[in-house]
Amino acid sequence: MFGIFRNKGVLLGCLFLLIVFFGIGAYFVANPSGKTAVKGIYGIFDINGVIPSGSTITIMQRDARGTSSFVPFAANIIPQDGGFWHFSGAITNKSYEIQGAVVQNGKVIYLTSPIFATAPAINQVLIFDVPSAQPAGNATISGSVGIDGYIPSGATLSLEGRKVGAQKFTIVTKNIPAKDQQFISYTTALAGQGYEVKGLLFDASGQPIGESAILTVVAPAYNENLNINSTAIPPVTATPTPTLTTTQPTQASAPTTPPTPTPLPASTISGIIRFDGQTPPNSRVVIFQRTSGTTNFQAAVNNVTAEDGTTWQWNGGTTAHMYDMIAILKQKQSDGTDKDISNSNILSLTAPAANETFTINSGFLLPAPGGGISVACDNYDGGSQTWNVGLSFGTVQGAQSYWFQIGTTNGGIELTNFTQNSTNNTNQSFTQQFKNGTTYYARYAYANVSNLQANSGQFSAFSGTTQLRCSK
């Protein structure tokens, strides 16, 4: 269940293997190298919550970074968690925003956050977290907890949760034996209710040694994933130094040299590359690492094949050390130099670690920002029934300008659509007016160049949308 990542990889892998196995030629074509190449954009539905009976799903697209209306490319789809969708009209090397809608009696009752993809692409997940106005009935939220770093003997996991809007977390389950990819579940949730959940890791004495990010999800939800970086350090094994002795009992023995601690063992960090878009000629992926808290990245793995599903492994980590890692798509130029084409998200993880995923979209040089978005409901005007609000967006290191969009629909710009240069603050902020009780959807992008206008190709992909609301 739980975490920043939705773990549908196994299902996707099985799905595409079946497509290839049964030879559905409309989905794949042979490229000149003889390999099977993808046409269009493919993905699945991750459906959580309660979709009303009789509803269908419509999927829409528009040009990436665009402000035009979304255009449907598939409609009247029966909602099914793990169901398959395909944008066959996607143009190779073109980038798109894709959004799903739940439609009931001809009316859109729910919109997903838009996702970005450059054709060709697979493994694209549209997440539907569909709440109910009156949550009722028992539901389960379940999945696995991934643990990076050292797991000491006797360590345990706990799961904490709260309803969206509540202040205090409560313990859902505890004393689960700690291991990587441990299954865990929340079996007393209400169907259609939104929850925030997090995982905690404890050592054998009950001391906390790790905590996951918070996941917001609507019950029921399955196959989710939380990730915890363990702060535990493995015990140091002393290397004994031989003690010199004498055959003359009347003489004192030579002093004993204190044992030399053995350095922490080397660790492996490994994972997979998820690659969207067309692979440029003479290109490769290089994975870089740095110790968390330091500035400069160093090459960790070179010459990784720029293809979806490629595995990678770095054997130079140190157990219990935390690292920042990033994958960069590089293209060799005619003069022998490298040009950076695109890069992945930055992963912060503790060694050892496995099943780590870099996502590279060849259509975007900068990955989407991952900082939080929040609102402070300051002053309410009863006459106009509006709030003066302060909006805060997480600062991205190195960003020189930002592009903000806020609308009354998911991915919309009904309230605001503007750019501004970066300020030297922890968060980028500005003020707006919200209508009382109205839900707004906010997202943002950034660029490493100042004074840019909206729609500039130098902006990153947009962040996921965050729902904001002020109510009297």
**405 vs 456 pLDDT, higher one:** 405
- Rounded to 5°, angle at Cα 440 from 437 and 442: 155
> Whole-model pTM?
0.78
- CA quadruple 469, 195, 2, 171: dihedral sign: positive
| Cα 299 from Cα 295, distance rounded (Å) | 14
By the 8 A CB rule, do 219 and 48 touch? yes
User: Hey, what are 170's tokens?
Assistant: 């409560």
Q: Does 33 have pLDDT greater than 80? A: no
Report the amino acid identity of residue 445: A
> Are the folds of 138-229 and 266-361 the same?
yes
Q: Does 439 have pLDDT greater than 50? A: yes
Please write the tens of the pLDDT for every residue from 254-310. 555 555 555 567 899 999 999 999 888 999 999 999 999 898 999 999 999 999 999
| Cα 471 from Cα 373, distance rounded (Å) | 18
Least confident of 169-178, 250-259, 269-278, 360-369: 250-259
- pLDDT-based confidence at 34, cuts 50/70/90? very low
User: Hey, what are 396's tokens?
Assistant: 């991205």
User: Hey, what are 106's tokens?
Assistant: 């001809």
**331 vs 30 pLDDT, higher one:** 331
User: Hey, what are 10's tokens?
Assistant: 């196994």
The CATH class, in words, for 266-361 is: mainly beta
Contacts of 283 by beta carbon, 8 Å cutoff, 6+ apart: 306, 329, 330, 331, 332, 341
Rounding to the nearest 10 degrees, give the CA dihedral for residues 455, 460, 461, 464.
-110
User: Hey, what are 423's tokens?
Assistant: 């300020």
Among 454, 460, 392, 459, which Cα is nearest to 425's?
A: 392
Q: Does 332 have pLDDT greater than 50? A: yes
Amino acid 254: pLDDT: 52
Over residues 51-78, the mean pLDDT reads 92
- Mean of pLDDT over the chain: 87
By the 8 A CB rule, do 352 and 319 touch? yes
| Cα 341 from Cα 338, distance rounded (Å) | 9
Give the distance from CA 145 to its chain's centroid.
15
Q: Does 5 have pLDDT greater than 50? A: no
For residue 414, give the DSSP letter: S
Query: Phi and psi dihedrals of 10, rounded to 5?
Result: -65, -45
| Cα 49 from Cα 295, distance rounded (Å) | 42
Q: Does 322 have pLDDT greater than 90? A: yes
| Cα 76 from Cα 58, distance rounded (Å) | 6
Q: Does 245 have pLDDT greater than 70? A: no
Integer angstrom CA distances of residue 22 from 17, 25, 28: 9, 9, 12
| Cα 7 from Cα 275, distance rounded (Å) | 16
Secondary structure of the chain: what % helix, strand, coil (to 5)? Answer: 5, 55, 45
Least confident of 20-29, 244-253, 341-350: 20-29
Cross-strand bridge partners of residue 186? 141
| Cα 277 from Cα 290, distance rounded (Å) | 27
What is the share, in percent, of the chain residues with pLDDT greater than 70? 86
Among 405, 403, 413, which Cα is nearest to 456's?
A: 403
- pLDDT-based confidence at 8, cuts 50/70/90? very low
Amino acid 239: pLDDT: 55
3-state secondary structure 241-284: CCCCCCCCCCCCCCCCCCCEECCCCEEEEEEEEEEECCCCCCEE
Tokens 């903000």 correspond to: 404
Long-range contacts for 426-430 (Cβ within 8 Å, ≥24 apart)? 426/395, 427/371, 427/392, 427/393, 427/394, 427/395, 428/392, 428/393, 428/394, 428/395, 428/402, 429/390, 429/391, 429/392, 429/393, 430/390, 430/391, 430/404
| Cα 262 from Cα 240, distance rounded (Å) | 10
Over residues 67-80, the mean pLDDT reads 93
Over residues 205-230, the mean pLDDT reads 95
Reply yes or no on domain 39-129 having CATH 3.40.50.2300: no
The secondary element (H helix, E strand) that includes residue 9 is helix 9-21
DSSP labels, 138-157: EEEEEEEEEEES---TT-EE
| Cα 142 from Cα 159, distance rounded (Å) | 11
Amino acid 225: pLDDT: 93
Cross-strand bridge partners of residue 261? 238
Amino acid 111: pLDDT: 93
User: Hey, what are 112's tokens?
Assistant: 């997903």
Integer angstrom CA distances of residue 201 from 152, 155, 232, 280, 390: 10, 7, 10, 43, 35
Any idea where the domains of the chain sit in the sequence?
Answer: 39-129, 138-229, 266-361, 373-469
Over residues 94-113, the mean pLDDT reads 94
Q: Select from 2.60.40.420, 3.30.70.1450, 3.20.20.80, 2.60.40.10 the CATH code of 138-229.
A: 2.60.40.10
Q: Select from 2.60.40.10, 3.20.20.70, 2.40.50.500, 3.40.50.720 the CATH code of 373-469.
A: 2.60.40.10
Q: Does 136 have pLDDT greater than 90? A: yes
